[in-house]
Amino acid sequence: MILSVGQFIYRKGFDVLLSALTCISYYVGVYIVGGTPYADILRRMEDLSLTNVHFVDFKEPYVLKRWNRAADLFCRPVKIFGAGHKRIDGARTSYSENRSVYCRGRIT
């Protein structure tokens, strides 16, 4: 299971994550915790024929820790990389740095 957490805003780069998922087997479940996705995210998913992506509403930190423990891989896609805010978020929610993957890129 691949887990990603965050609001559906441009700088988070979920469109980059969705594009990368075309290379992954559809047997691998991908869960994005962060509320209801915008229409453009759903449209992109449909364009890429992704059926293994599931959206989960916001969770309390103690529940989110359980999701993290269940995940095989935690992915934090980033389009605009800030000054260490990913490490702060990771420390606050007890994500292990060695299991995190930072996806940087641009879709053209």
pLDDT for 35-86, tens place per residue? 888 888 889 889 999 899 999 998 888 888 899 888 888 888 777 765 455 5
Residue type, 1: M
pLDDT tens string 88-100: 455 445 544 444 4
Q: Cα dihedral sign for 24, 59, 43, 107?
A: negative
Q: The whole model's pTM is what?
A: 0.71
Residue 32 tokens read as 């994005």
For residue 98, the SS3 value is helix
